[in-house]
């Protein structure tokens, strides 16, 4: 059965016919003041390439040019297509002649975007339907998402109009990123795509390549992603759009981030949390976020909650979070265009007013930022009914509404009718180029959303100012003889980053609620927690100007930071190790983004995502089993070695060296795993730098191989000893390092003939062979540290399996005997944690004795000592509720005085 596509068909759902926003003149008599012009000159970054005149003048000129072209076009005698006819006949009286003409043009531009969307999904040839459609023109596999696309293109076209009229700098975030063909179509129509991908020319040949590349091998994915110019957001894993948009707006006062949010996406936890943005966006300092909640009513195969709620209910939800929503609703383009234009204009006007008021009168609480609720049919303008089943306006239009085009002649005919309904011959000229009167609707230069520098390395990419690490160096005498809270000096370093970037803020710390508890509280000497909600409730270091982002949502912390980084600024996400798993999936997605982005020459590198895991599994003894989980390390180990880095600094000075490195690095995801409590400190800054640069080194002072004077650390590349110890003790992570050192001490004290080597690994990824990770040591270097065949007892921070997987390909990997976190935890003492997981000094020493070859005097005595101590420990902690004094107060001393 064949049904002609219908333009006016009402979807069966509750989409109301009339726009809820009264139509008002959409082209203002006076040009708007662009938001950017309200920002004090000192804070304004004029990066608008190609525009040498002030933005407000440029805007007036642009608007005048458009009006001139509109008049010219209205006189042009063009055969109206069905859509245009409908548009012209149903235009509301309140829209001026030039406005209705403008909307007619915009509608044709929208048609061009929709046409190219459908063409990308279906066609491999005959891009502009110059000949009748036949099976050979159809792709063998139909992959893509039509349902969301017309709505997103509508938003894009209206943002183009706003930019053209105001000179606003707008970043487009596509939440339902599966609408990739729509975004690609718009970026192509505005000309950016051909500039970045010169082979995709603006003509027939380029159009052929554009459609063929979509969702095909060697081409581009069906989703928005790194290859999509103007994008910082993939939208493949739904839920992060509004968090990314909010992070992008922070400290970008010129920017408006327009964020399309799917009503399905709005059901996710991260998105639900993201509505809190008004409480964290400072209108005198940050840019604006304009959420556009797209209520097309359906997900893949069912309805959405918000789609079935009334306008009043959805508006109330957003209003409760502090937004000022306006509803645009309908299925008739002739009515939706003016309503949408009015809503966008009103939103822009409000943004300007809010920012102006904040600058002039100060910030007195969260702004009621505008938001748009856009209720349009899913699969709008697509086939209304297919095989007798309603398609447009239902979940069925989510992907490919006509799925049997190659086999079913009716479907093929319907597809041709659908494509021809956009009248491509009235949109593109004979060479295949978009007609000039349509092309003129797109903004120019960097104002095009596909070309915005904000989405490609940032509008003003700069390295972070870091003071010399000597400013924060912890004085270390005899290695291991003093204790200190390892993360505290890092807090001082972050404090000075805030201080030194005050004039041009480009750094933020993101943390669920634990900045102080993580010993990073020095930042509060110079800044506050950011919160715009006001109350006299005893909160400390809380203000609207604060630059420390504390919100009890790992999703928001990480999502905001990712948006901040992808627009060229720097930051750190500090979190409990166990709860970093809450946003582990975001970490995976970010790694994927960077992995793909770094293959694209045109994409500029962005500052790395740095995740500090400070409240680690070993020292959450007071919090119980729920707080013990080093799983993020396992998660990232499976991901691309081109992006992932994992550092476990054993002490403060090594943490400083690692922090300096990761804060300057780009295009990586860096995990820093280090506990915040007081731990023995081992290396001076100079030694720490050497250790950090090598990634692993022999700690000669902690072993007994060398009799003559020796350096504190020896690296494989430089001065590793040629000796062969009886046993190697390796440590990775602060708590395992302490236990391995104590085990070494026991072995040296009780078994003096045994030669022991201690190796500390700080960069976990030196362990795999170099073909598995670029940091991997060569086999020769690896064997300089660990020997070729001596047994190695390992004290490891995380799950043993994660460690073993790294050794695959090394010589005799089974000689590595790994003790790590083995999922034993409860509320207990710190030392009991290592006992429960059989990684205590006593377990490690006994393991070493089990692994050495030959007889050594004192070995049996030591085993008995260890067993006795484990029994004593057990009895002591149950009686005294804390660890044995000799454990609590243990520091390194010479084993043989
Ligand atoms: C976190 C996540 N869960 C599930 C999916 C699978 N998925 C892809 S599209 C989609 C429906 C999206 O609905 P909506 O956000 O309303 O977008 P639209 O209707 O505009 O396509 C789902 C569930 C996903 N991409 N991400």
For residue 670, the surrounding DSSP H or E stretch is strand 669-673
Residues 254, 372, single domain; the answer is: yes
Expressed as residue numbers, the domain containing 710 is 695-888
Q: How far is the CA of 157 from the centre of ligand 1 (A)?
A: 23
As to burial, measured by CB atoms within 10 angstroms (0-12 exposed, 13-18 middle, 19+ buried), residue 602 is: exposed
The CA 294 to ligand 1 mean position distance, Å, reads: 12
485 and 355 belong to one structural domain: no
Cα–Cα distance between 847 and 861 in angstroms, integer? Answer: 14
The answer, yes or no, to whether any atom of ligand 1 lies below 6 A from the CB of 263, is: yes
Say whether both 305 and 218 belong to one domain.
yes
CB distance 513 to ligand 1 below 6 Å: no
Residues 610 and 633 placed together within one structural domain of the fold: yes
Residue 430 CA to its chain's centroid (Å): 42
Q: Please report, for residues 91, 93, 106, 190, the alpha-carbon distance to residue 109 in angstroms, rounded to integers and kept in the order given.
A: 17, 22, 5, 10
Are residues 213 and 244 both part of a single domain?
Answer: yes
In short, whether 239's Cβ falls inside 6 Å of ligand 1 is: yes
How many independent structural domains does the chain possess? 3
Q: How close is the Cα of 149 to the center of ligand 1, in Å?
A: 13
Q: What is the pLDDT of residue 3?
A: 35
Both tokens of residue 35? Answer: 């938001």
- What is the spatial distance between Cα 844 and Cα 113, in angstroms, rounded to a whole number? 66
Show which of 618, 645, 680 is a domain's final residue: 680
Query: Does residue 148 line the site of ligand 1, with CB under 6 A?
Result: yes
Ligand 1 pocket check for 238: Cβ under 6 Å: yes
Give the 3-state secondary structure percentages of the chain, helix then strand then coil, rounded to 5: 40, 15, 45
Give the HSE-up count for residue 326: Cα atoms under 13 Å, Cβ half-sphere: 20
- Whole-angstrom Cα distance, residue 440 to residue 665? 41
pLDDT of residue 897: 67
Which atom of ligand 1 approaches the CA of 239 most closely? 1
Please indicate whether residue 296, judged by its CB atom, sits closer than 6 Å to ligand 1. Answer: yes
Last residue of some domain: 617, 652, 680? 680
Q: What confidence score (pLDDT) does residue 538 get?
A: 85
* CA separation for the pair 166, 36 (Å, rounded): 10
**Does residue 318 lie in a domain region?**
yes
Q: Are residues 377 and 403 in the same domain?
A: yes
* pLDDT of res. 537: 86
Q: How is residue 628 annotated by DSSP?
A: -
Contact 213, 139 (CB under 8 A): no
Q: Is the C-beta atom of 264 inside 6 A of ligand 1?
A: yes
Let me know whether 319 and 446 are in one domain.
Answer: yes
Q: Is residue 11 part of a domain?
A: no
Find the 176 Cα to ligand 1 centroid distance in Å: 7
Query: Residue 523: inside a domain, yes or no?
Result: yes
Question: pLDDT value at position 821?
Answer: 96
Task: Tell me the whole-structure pTM to 2 decimals.
Answer: 0.89
The alpha carbon of 268 and the centre of ligand 1 are apart by a number of angstroms equal to 10
Give the number of the atom of ligand 1 that is nearest the alpha carbon of residue 262.
Answer: 15
Residue-wise pLDDT tens digits, 241-268? 999 999 999 999 999 999 999 999 999 9
Index of the ligand 1 atom closest to the CA of residue 237? 26
* Cα→Cα distances 402→8, 143, 151, 798, Å: 19, 11, 19, 51
Q: Both tokens of residue 490? A: 């890092």
Using a 6 Å cutoff on CB, does residue 237 contact ligand 1? yes
Q: Which residue, of 423, 455, 487, is where some domain finishes? A: 455
| Alpha helix (H) residue ranges in 775-857 | 779-786, 800-807, 830-836, 841-851
Domain match, 748 and 826 both: yes
Claim to verify: residue 555 and residue 592 sit in the same structural domain: yes
Ligand 1 neighbour 375 (Cβ under 6 A)? no
- Chain centroid, CA 676 distance in Å: 26
- For residue 178, give the ligand 1 atom closest to its CA: 9
- 476 and 671 Cβ atoms separated by less than 8 Å: no
Atom of ligand 1 nearest to the CA of 266: 15
Residue 16 covered by a domain: no
| Domain co-membership, 412 together with 326 | yes
**Nearest of 269, 292, 186, 231 to residue 562 by alpha carbon:** 231
Any ligand 1 atom below 6 A from CB of 399: no
CA 152 / ligand 1 centre spacing (Å) = 14
Pocket test for ligand 1, best of 265, 297, 380 (most atoms within 8 A of CB): 265
Q: Is residue 366 part of a domain?
A: yes
Instruction: Determine the distance separating the centroid of ligand 1 and the alpha carbon of 315, expressed in angstroms.
Output: 22
For residue 4, being part of any structural domain is answered with no
Cα pseudo-dihedral 843, 849, 850, 855, rounded to 10: -160
Residue whose CA is closest, atom 21 of ligand 1?
148
Q: Atom 11, ligand 1: which residue's CA is nearest?
A: 299
Cβ burial, residue 40 (10 Å; 0-12/13-18/19+): exposed
> Which atom in ligand 1 lies closest to the alpha carbon of residue 235?
25
Distance 263 CA to ligand 1 centre (A): 9
Nearest CA residue ID for atom 16, ligand 1: 264
Take residue 742 and report the two structure tokens written for it.
Answer: 């104590």
Q: What is the Å distance from ligand 1's center to 265 Cα?
A: 6
Rounded to the nearest 10 degrees, the angle between the axes of helix 82-89 and helix 97-122 is: 150
Q: Is residue 379 in contact with ligand 1, taking CB distance under 6 Å?
A: no
Task: Give me the phi and psi of 434, to 5 degrees please.
Answer: -60, 135
Q: How far is the CA of 11 from the centre of ligand 1 (A)?
A: 20
What spacing in Å lies between the alpha carbon of 17 and ligand 1's midpoint? 26
- Ligand 1 centroid from CA 859, angstroms: 62
Task: Give 301 Cα–ligand 1 centroid separation in angstroms.
Answer: 10
Query: Is the CB of 396 inside a 6 Å radius of any atom of ligand 1?
Result: no
Q: Which of 638, 645, 647, 689 is nearest to 666 (CA)?
A: 645
User: Does residue 2 belong to any structural domain of this protein?
Assistant: no
**Cα torsion 308, 309, 315, 321: sign:** negative
Residues whose CB is less than 8 angstroms from the CB of residue 661 and which lie 6 or more positions away in sequence, other chains included: 692
Q: In this structure, are 633 and 723 located in the same domain?
A: no
Report how far ligand 1's centroid is from the alpha carbon of 500 (Å): 42
Same domain, 823 and 846: yes
Strands of the sheet with 727-732, listed across from one edge: 713-714, 696-699, 756-761, 727-732, 792-796, 816-819
Q: Identify the CATH number of the domain in which residue 749 sits.
A: 3.40.50.920
- The number of the ligand 1 atom at minimal distance from the alpha carbon of 261 is 15
Residue 244 sits in a domain whose CATH number is: 3.40.50.970
Cβ-Cβ contacts under 8 Å for 564 (sequence gap 6 or more): 247, 248, 250, 251, 508, 570, 571
Query: For the chain, what is the total number of helices (H) and then of strands (E)?
Result: 27, 23
Output the CA 238–ligand 1 centroid distance in Å. Answer: 6
Q: Does 223 sit in the ligand 1 pocket, CB within 6 Å?
A: no
CA-265 nearest atom, ligand 1: 15
| Residue 14 belongs to some domain of the structure | no
Q: Is the CB of 37 under 6 A from ligand 1?
A: no
Which atom in ligand 1 lies closest to the alpha carbon of residue 304?
16
- 374: nearest Cα among 66, 167, 672, 151: 151
Q: Is 174 in the pocket of ligand 1 (CB under 6 A)?
A: no
Please give the structure tokens belonging to residue 350.
Answer: 């409000």
Q: What is the tens place of the pLDDT at every residue in 62-108?
A: 233 222 222 222 222 222 333 333 332 222 333 333 488 999 999 99
What is the length of the chain?
897
Q: How far is the CA of 587 from the centre of ligand 1 (A)?
A: 19
**CA-to-CA dists, residue 772 to 482, 642, 648, 806, 807, angstroms:** 38, 10, 19, 9, 10
Residue matched to tokens 């979190």: 575
Phi-psi region of 231 (alpha: psi -120 to 50; beta: other; left: phi over 0): beta
Atom of ligand 1 nearest to the CA of 179: 21
Q: Measured in angstroms, how far is the CA atom of residue 236 from the centroid of ligand 1?
A: 8
Partners of 894 in the beta sheet? Answer: none
For the chain, list residues with pLDDT below 50: 1-98
């Amino acid at each position: 059965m064949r049904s002609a596509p219908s333009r006016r068909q009402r979807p069966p759902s509750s989409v109301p016919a009339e726009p809820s926003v009264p139509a008002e003149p959409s082209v203002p008599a006076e040009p708007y003041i662009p938001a950017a012009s309200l920002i004090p000159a000192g804070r304004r970054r004029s990066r608008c390439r190609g525009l040498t005149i002030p933005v407000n003048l440029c805007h007036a000129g642009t608007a005048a040019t458009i009006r001139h072209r509109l008049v010219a076009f209205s006189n042009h005698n063009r055969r109206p297509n069905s859509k245009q006819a409908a548009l012209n006949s149903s235009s509301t009286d309140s829209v001026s002649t030039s406005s209705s003409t403008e909307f007619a043009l915009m509608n044709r531009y929208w048609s061009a975007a929709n046409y190219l969307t459908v063409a990308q999904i279906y066609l491999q040839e005959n891009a502009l339907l110059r000949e009748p459609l036949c099976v050979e023109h159809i792709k063998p596999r139909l992959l893509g998402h039509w349902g969301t696309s017309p709505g997103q293109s509508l938003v894009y076209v209206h943002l183009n109009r706003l930019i053209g009229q105001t000179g606003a700098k707008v970043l487009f975030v596509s939440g339902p990123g599966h609408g990739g063909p729509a975004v690609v179509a718009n970026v192509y129509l505005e000309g950016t795509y051909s500039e970045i991908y010169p082979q995709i020319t603006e003509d027939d040949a380029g159009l052929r390549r554009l459609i063929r590349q979509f969702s095909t091998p060697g081409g581009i994915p069906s989703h928005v992603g790194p290859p999509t110019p103007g994008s910082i957001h993939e939208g493949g894993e739904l839920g992060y759009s509004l968090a990314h948009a909010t992070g992008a707006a922070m400290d970008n006062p010129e920017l408006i981030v327009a964020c399309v949010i799917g009503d399905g996406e709005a059901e996710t936890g991260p998105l639900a949390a993201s509505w809190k943005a008004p409480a964290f966006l400072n209108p005198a300092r940050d840019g604006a976020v304009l959420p556009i909640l797209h209520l097309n009513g359906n997900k893949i195969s069912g309805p959405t909650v918000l789609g079935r709620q009334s306008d009043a209910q959805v508006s109330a939800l957003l209003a409760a979070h502090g937004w000022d929503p306006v509803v645009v609703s309908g299925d008739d383009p002739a009515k939706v265009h003016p309503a949408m234009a009015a809503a966008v204009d009103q939103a822009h006007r409000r943004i300007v007013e809010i920012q102006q008021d904040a600058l002039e009168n100060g910030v007195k609480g969260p702004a009621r930022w505008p938001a748009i609720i856009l209720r349009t049919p899913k699969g709008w303008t697509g086939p209304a009914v297919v095989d007798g089943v309603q398609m447009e306006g239902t979940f069925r239009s989510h992907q490919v509404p006509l799925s049997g085009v190659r086999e079913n002649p009716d479907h093929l005919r319907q597809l041709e009718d659908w494509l021809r309904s956009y009248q491509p011959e009235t949109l593109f000229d004979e060479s295949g180029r978009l007609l000039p009167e349509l092309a003129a609707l797109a903004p120019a230069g960097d104002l095009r959303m596909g070309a915005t520098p904000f989405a490609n390395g940032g509008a003003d990419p700069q390295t972070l100012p870091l003071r010399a690490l000597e400013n924060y160096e912890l004085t270390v005498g005899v290695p291991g003889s003093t204790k200190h809270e390892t993360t505290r000096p890092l807090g001082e370093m972050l404090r000075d980053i805030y201080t030194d970037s005050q004039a041009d803020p480009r750094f933020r710390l993101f943390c669920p609620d634990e900045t102080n508890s993580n010993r990073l509280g020095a930042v509060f000497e110079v800044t506050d927690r950011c919160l715009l909600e006001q109350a006299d409730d005893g909160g400390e270091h809380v203000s609207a100007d604060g630059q420390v982002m504390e919100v009890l949502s790992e999703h928001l912390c990480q999502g905001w930071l990712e948006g901040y980084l992808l627009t060229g600024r720097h930051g750190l996400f500090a979190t409990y190790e166990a709860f970093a798993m809450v946003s582990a999936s975001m970490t995976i997605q970010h790694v994927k983004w960077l992995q793909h982005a770094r293959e694209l020459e045109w994409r500029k590198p962005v500052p790395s995502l740095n995740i500090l895991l400070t409240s680690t599994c070993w020292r959450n003894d007071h919090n119980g089993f729920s707080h013990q989980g080093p799983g993020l390390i396992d998660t990232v180990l499976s991901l691309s070695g081109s992006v992932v880095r994992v550092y476990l600094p054993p002490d403060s000075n090594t943490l400083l060296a690692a922090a300096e490195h990761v804060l300057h690095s780009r295009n990586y995801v860096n995990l820093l795993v280090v506990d915040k409590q007081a731990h023995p400190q081992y290396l001076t800054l100079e030694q720490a730098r050497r250790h950090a640069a090598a990634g692993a080194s022999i700690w000669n002072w902690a072993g007994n191989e060398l009799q003559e004077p020796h350096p504190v650390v020896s690296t494989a590349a430089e001065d590793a000893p040629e000796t062969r110890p009886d046993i190697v003790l390796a440590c990775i992570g602060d708590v395992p390092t302490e236990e391995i050192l104590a085990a070494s001490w026991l072995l040296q004290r009780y078994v003096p003939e045994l030669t022991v080597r201690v190796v500390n690994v700080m960069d976990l990824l030196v362990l795999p062979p170099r073909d598995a990770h670029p940091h991997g040591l060569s086999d020769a270097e690896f064997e300089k540290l660990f020997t070729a065949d001596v047994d190695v007892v390992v004290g490891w921070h995380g799950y043993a399996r994660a460690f073993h997987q790294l050794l695959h390909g090394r010589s005799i990997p089974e000689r590595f005997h790994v003790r790590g976190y083995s999922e034993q935890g409860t509320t207990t003492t710190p030392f009991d944690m290592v006992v429960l997981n059989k990684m205590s000094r006593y377990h490690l020493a006994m393991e070493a004795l089990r692994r050495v070859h030959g007889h050594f005097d004192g070995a049996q005595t030591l085993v008995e000592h260890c067993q006795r101590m484990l029994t004593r420990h057990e009895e002591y902690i149950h009686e005294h509720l804390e660890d044995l004094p000799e454990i609590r107060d243990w520091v390194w001393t010479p084993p043989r005085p």
